[in-house]
């Protein structure tokens, strides 16, 4: 499908509970036989129970072309039977194998010769054994290829003994339906193994119902039919189609479910008038809890997740059920065996081969002689699949995809209409996401890595993008591509997703709730949330009414949170009840009740708790009202006019992010909508990103990397953002593969972990083409290795919270420049290297790095003094970094002016941690310095002069824990000194400490290398 302009079926997998109800359609098996038999019975028959199955429509149309008058009265076919008088020479079976096999012989009963045709691919449908048997009965049927088109001469059959292989029941049924009208007795003898006996049972039962006599041997290998019979008009009701119900039942088996399937009167084969009733017994034996609910006249499936058991199935009894049972087996705990599958390969497609595609989804499927073996997987993965233009293959693989991790696509998406036209409607009503899409507009780019991308989206107009707010981007995509995926929420135990329409509508509801809580334009809404879909929804909602999003890093503890709430002045705060063992609501309650610092005055009036319908907290803490997120949303009406009236323009502030406080207290950085949209568009244009990409976001959304170059970039491009809330490299690789992620921007440790996971055996994500490394310089050897292992471009970059990206390399750059620099200046960005006294330095000379960019921040919130200090007199931003800049605009960061420890992209607030450690009773003097680390880049080493008894590292970290300091900021090595090195004026000589830490790290690595493995 990749690169195809064809339509395809897009299925988004989920492990969430499915709920709903559906009406099981009427049986197409009964409908085919009843309509045909009624057409042969002079008089009027009434067949109640219409079906929308296209296969049945083909039978109706063929009968009409043979001269049978068929009317529809409400829900009833009214069939006026009698001799066939063809209206035209060519009569088509469409794409219905049943119509073809049943009618090719019966067409000879007409008043003139006809040619039986079908859709184009029917010209490859082998029908030779049936044609040979019809000739034995005395018919004149001719096809040079033993495939349609078939010339049929108008001639009554003579009868006699006719032999046919027991391969397909439809061949045998075609002979049985014709035999009563022969001039002499007919004996139909089945040679060899008989498959699909249940379908022959139905044919015989229906013939007898229409007054035709037929005798069957005990082993069902010989059928004797008297000659010269006449069918009798009959009224009957078509029963429900268990074969169609199987798809809903299978979906309920693969998901936690509460489904009602109306029309089924039984949950076992006993008493079920259907050739595929054995499916119910097989499903029950695999552990699917089905119960007939008399009050609703429906079969109910209700459970919170079942462990399906493997099964051994003889496909001679349920051949058409092999595809959907294979899908159930792919979710079972063990190996299922499907016996006698050879004849299933002669159906509308080779359905056995089609099920081998489950291997690409994570199951283990193999053909062993006449058996198909399927070993289940704990979690399937999305894949690009072929439906073989087969209705059962399409629907079965779509059900499998609905329970898989990620996005799956299937070719020939409308094939389901052949037998179950309500399939998509039913599946979507259960809460599954299946949409027919235009392949040309929605497929991921086939090329990736350093290879040029073909047919990419035209470059963004940066100036136009800068005039669009984040909520307006969402409104646009909700109108243009409502059913496309906007957000993938990859929580560890479940993956959910939102379409653009759902994101837009959900943001409206949250916006209405915020307005009801008193939030107005310019107010800051604070939230401490992981990478969940609620983060995205809340951001769009707050910005939609002109408020400012003020996210707080999930790693922050009470001390940092209290400061952020104090500085932001937020009146509304949103937190999870619990995440990764931390109880955020309880921590916030403590902050509000007492305050981590009495100097912090808080403006909080409302707290919304996600995941707790009724927070187990005091109703009021100093006048603060607590709300359950879900309950509050459910009770909030949406007034679209009120929301639209509050919509801001692109020049108002949108984002307030707090720095890590590397040189003192954290600073609140303000950015406008226009700045963020411009920054995202600049990067997209530089890297060639477009509407066919999918953005993977492992970096915290509360950090500029995740917020701007994950979430906001997705808004600008109108592409999915794939969120990961808990870092796990193997799961990250699975999500990249499943959701076809093409782009990642994250710090070095993320890249290092992905490379190691692939080297350890996890498959590389074929779709990934660009990894932009930010936060810390990526080592050259890692860049080279990652490019090879991931088969993706690894691009260096430089940016800060205040400036957004200032430089980034591109996939087409010279590898020496990509791997040895921090990127090339973006168009419109200016940089200079100056001496300590502010004089420009020549290209290639190390000095102070200063930046001038159209994406600079507005300033530090309520700190004009710090804002002024950050800029030169002529308006350039002082980055605080040492760097070199070559003539081509490639940047190399060589050091830091200020004392910073960069732990995996997170900057440790050294001054604040030192001040806290100074207060420890066992510390006389202390300084923190960066210690090199092969994975995180740097870790903090605490150099301590003891005050008497030396402290242990555990004592220091326990102390910081009691101070509610984020664990990422704790020192990870302790070195005891007699004194801290200082210069004559008392300034700590950090360069000496860094050298010592570097030596300690080197010795530690050498010792590890010498240790026996």
Q: Which residues are catalytic?
A: 320
| β strands within 153-266, DSSP E | 160-165, 186-191, 215-216, 222-225, 235-237, 257-262
Q: E strand or H helix at 136, and its extent?
A: helix 128-136
CA angle 948, 988, 963 (to 5 degrees): 55
Closest alpha carbon to 747 in 769, 722, 727, 777: 777
- The answer on whether 125 is annotated among ligand-binding residues is yes
Closest CA to 793 of 450, 454, 452: 450
Is the CB of residue 344 less than 8 Å from the CB of residue 315?
A: yes
> Is 392 marked as binding a ligand?
yes
Please compute, for residue 76, the number of CA atoms within 13 A of its CA located in the half-sphere on the CB side. 14
| Nearby residues of 952 by Cβ (< 8 Å), 6 or more positions away | 974
| 291 annotated to a ligand binding site | no
The backbone torsions φ and ψ at residue 442, rounded to the nearest 5 degrees and listed phi first, read -120, -5
List C-alpha distances in Å: 185 to 128, 149, 432: 24, 29, 54
User: Rounded to an integer, what distance in angstroms lies between the CA atom of residue 766 and that of residue 416?
Assistant: 30
**Cα distances (Å, whole numbers) of residue 743 to 153, 492, 693, 773, 796:** 64, 21, 7, 11, 14
**Using CB atoms within 10 A of its CB, is residue 921 exposed (0-12), middle (13-18) or buried (19+)?**
exposed
Q: Environment class of residue 333 by beta-carbon count within 10 Å: exposed (0-12), middle (13-18) or buried (19+)? A: middle
Q: In Å, how far are 151, 594, 601, 667, 967 from 597, measured between CA atoms?
A: 93, 8, 9, 17, 19
CA 217 to each of CA 196, 214, 224, 225, 545: distance values in angstroms, whole numbers, following the listed order? 16, 10, 8, 12, 78
The string of DSSP codes covering 780-795 is HHHHHHHHHHH-SEEE
Q: Is 347 annotated as a binding residue?
A: yes
Q: In angstroms, rounded to a whole number, what is the distance separating the alpha carbons of residues 526 and 515?
A: 15
Token pair of 581 as six digits: 């063992």
Phi-psi category of residue 535: left, alpha or beta, with phi > 0 → left and psi -120 to 50 → alpha: alpha
Taking the C-alpha atoms of 136, 137, 142 and 147 in order, what is their torsion angle to the nearest 10 degrees? -80
Angle at 985 between CA 980 and CA 988, to 5 degrees: 30
Q: Is 685 annotated as a binding residue?
A: no
Tokens standing for residue 285: 């034996």
Assigned token pair, 104: 């090719």
CA distance 712 to 733: 22
Is 780 known to sit in a ligand binding site? no
E runs forming strands in 541-637: 548-551, 572-576, 606-610, 620-621, 624-628
How many residues does this entry show for the chain? 1013
Give ∠ CA 421-279-281 in degrees, rounded to 5. Answer: 145
Question: Which strand ranges, in their side-by-side order, compose the sheet holding 937-946?
Answer: 923-933, 937-946, 973-976
668 is in an annotated binding site: no
Crossing angle (nearest 10°) for helices 242-254 and 391-402: 20
Cis link prior to 663 (omega < 30° from 0)? no
Q: What is the SS3 assignment for 475?
A: helix
Q: Does the annotation flag 351 for ligand binding? A: yes
Q: Residues within the annotated binding site?
A: 28, 33, 97, 125, 169-170, 320, 347, 351, 392
Q: Residues within the annotated binding site for 3-phosphoshikimate?
A: 28, 33, 169-170, 320, 347
Q: Residues within the annotated binding site for phosphoenolpyruvate?
A: 28, 97, 125, 170, 351, 392
């Amino acid at each position: 499908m990749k690169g195809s302009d064809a339509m395809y079926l897009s299925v988004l997998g989920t492990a969430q509970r499915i709920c709903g109800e559906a009406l099981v359609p009427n049986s197409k098996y009964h409908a085919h036989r009843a309509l045909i038999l009624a057409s042969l019975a002079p008089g009027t028959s009434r067949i109640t129970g219409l079906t929308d199955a296209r296969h049945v429509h083909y039978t109706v149309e063929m009968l009409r072309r043979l001269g049978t008058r068929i009317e529809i009265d409400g829900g009833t076919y009214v069939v006026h039977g009698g001799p066939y008088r063809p209206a035209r020479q060519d009569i088509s079976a469409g794409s219905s194998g049943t119509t073809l096999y049943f009618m090719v012989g019966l067409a000879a009963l007409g008043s003139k010769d006809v040619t039986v045709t079908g859709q184009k691919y029917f010209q490859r449908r082998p029908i030779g054994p049936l044609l040979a048997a019809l000739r034995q009965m005395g018919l004149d049927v001719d096809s040079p290829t033993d495939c349609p088109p078939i010339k049929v001469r108008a001639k009554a059959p003579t009868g006699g003994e006719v032999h046919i292989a027991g391969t397909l029941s439809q061949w045998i049924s075609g002979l049985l339906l014709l035999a009563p009208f022969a001039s002499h007795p007919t004996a139909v003898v089945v040679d060899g193994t008989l498959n699909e006996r249940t379908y022959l049972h139905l044919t015989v039962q229906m013939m007898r119902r229409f007054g035709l006599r037929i005798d069957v041997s005990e082993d069902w290998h010989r059928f004797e039919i008297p000659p010269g019979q006449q069918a009798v008009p009959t009224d009957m009701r078509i029963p429900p189609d268990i074969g169609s119900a199987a798809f809903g039942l299978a979906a309920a088996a693969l998901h936690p479910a509460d489904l009602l399937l109306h029309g089924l009167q039984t949950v076992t084969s006993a008493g079920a008038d259907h050739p595929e009733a054995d499916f119910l017994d097989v499903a029950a034996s695999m552990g699917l809890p089905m119960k007939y609910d008399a009050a609703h006249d429906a079969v109910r499936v209700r459970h919170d997740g079942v462990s399906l058991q493997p099964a051994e199935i003889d496909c001679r009894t349920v051949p058409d059920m092999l595809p959907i049972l294979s899908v159930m087996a792919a979710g079972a705990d063990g190996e299922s065996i499907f016996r006698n599958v050879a004849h299933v390969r002669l159906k509308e497609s080779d359905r056995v081969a089609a099920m081998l595609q489950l291997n690409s989804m994570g199951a283990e499927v193999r053909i062993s002689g006449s058996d198909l073996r399927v070993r289940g997987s704990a979690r399937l993965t999305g894949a690009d699949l072929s439906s073989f233009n087969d209705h059962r293959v399409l629907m079965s693989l779509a059900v499998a995809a609905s329970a898989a991790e990620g996005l799956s696509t299937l070719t020939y998406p409308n094939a389901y209409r052949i037998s179950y036209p309500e399939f998509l409607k039913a599946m979507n009503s259960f809460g599954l996401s299946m949409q027919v899409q235009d392949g040309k507009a929605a497929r991921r780019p086939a090329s990736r890595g350093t290879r040029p991308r073909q047919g990419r989206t035209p470059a963004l107009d940066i100036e136009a993008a800068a005039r669009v707010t984040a909520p307006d981007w969402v409104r646009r995509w909700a109108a243009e591509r409502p059913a496309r995926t906007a957000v993938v929420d990859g929580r560890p135990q479940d993956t959910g997703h939102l379409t653009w329409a759902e994101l837009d509508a959900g943001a409206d509801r949250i916006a209405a709730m915020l307005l009801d809580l008193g939030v107005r334009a310019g107010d800051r809404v604070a939230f401490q949330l992981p990478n969940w879909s609620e983060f995205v929804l809340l951001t769009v909602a707050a910005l939609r009414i002109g408020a400012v999003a003020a996210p707080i890093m999930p790693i922050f503890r009470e001390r940092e949170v209290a400061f952020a709430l104090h500085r932001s002045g937020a009146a509304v705060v949103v937190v999870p009840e619990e995440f990764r063992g931390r109880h955020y609501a309880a921590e916030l309650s403590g902050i509000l009740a007492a305050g981590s610092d009495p100097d912090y005055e808080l403006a909080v009036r409302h707290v919304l708790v996600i995941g707790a319908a009724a927070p187990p907290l005091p109703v009021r803490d100093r006048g603060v009202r607590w709300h359950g997120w879900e309950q509050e949303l459910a009770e909030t009406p949406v007034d679209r006019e009120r929301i639209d009236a509050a919509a801001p323009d692109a020049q108002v502030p949108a984002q307030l992010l707090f720095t890590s406080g590397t040189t003192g207290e954290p600073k609140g950085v303000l950015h406008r909508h226009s700045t963020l949209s411009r920054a995202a568009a600049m990067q997209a244009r530089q890297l060639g990103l477009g509407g066919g990409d999918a953005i993977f976001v492992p970096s915290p959304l509360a950090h500029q990397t995740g917020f701007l170059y994950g979430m906001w970039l997705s808004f600008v491009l109108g592409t999915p953002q794939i969120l990961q809330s808990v870092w796990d490299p193997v799961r990250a690789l699975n999500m990249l593969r499943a959701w076809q992620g093409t782009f990642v921007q994250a710090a070095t440790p993320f890249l290092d972990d992905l490379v190691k996971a692939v080297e350890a055996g996890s498959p590389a994500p074929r779709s990934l083409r660009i990894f932009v490394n930010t936060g810390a310089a990526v080592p050259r050897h890692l860049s080279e290795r990652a490019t090879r292992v991931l088969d993706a471009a690894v691009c260096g970059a430089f940016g800060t919270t205040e400036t957004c990206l200032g430089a980034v390399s591109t996939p087409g750059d010279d590898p020496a420049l990509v791997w040895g620099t921090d990127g090339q200046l973006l168009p419109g960005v200016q940089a200079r290297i100056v001496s300590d006294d502010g004089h420009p330095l020549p290209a290639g000379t190390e000095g102070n790095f200063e930046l001038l960019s159209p994406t600079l921040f507005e300033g530090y919130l309520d700190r004009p003094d710090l804002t002024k200090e950050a800029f030169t007199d002529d308006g350039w931003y002082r980055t605080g970094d040492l760097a070199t800049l070559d003539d081509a605009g490639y940047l190399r960061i060589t050091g830091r002016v200020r004392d910073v420890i960069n732990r995996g992209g997170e900057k440790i607030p050294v001054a604040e941690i030192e001040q806290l450690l100074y207060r420890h009773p066992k510390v006389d003097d202390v300084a923190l310095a960066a210690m090199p680390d092969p994975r995180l880049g740097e870790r903090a080493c605490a150099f301590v002069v003891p005050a008497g008894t030396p402290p242990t590292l555990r004592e220091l970290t326990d102390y910081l824990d009691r101070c509610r300091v984020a664990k990422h900021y704790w020192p990870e090595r302790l070195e005891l000194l007699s004194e801290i090195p200082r210069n004559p004026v008392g300034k700590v000589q950090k360069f000496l400490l860094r050298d010592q830490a570097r030596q300690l790290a080197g010795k530690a690595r050498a010792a590890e290398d010498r240790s026996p493995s």
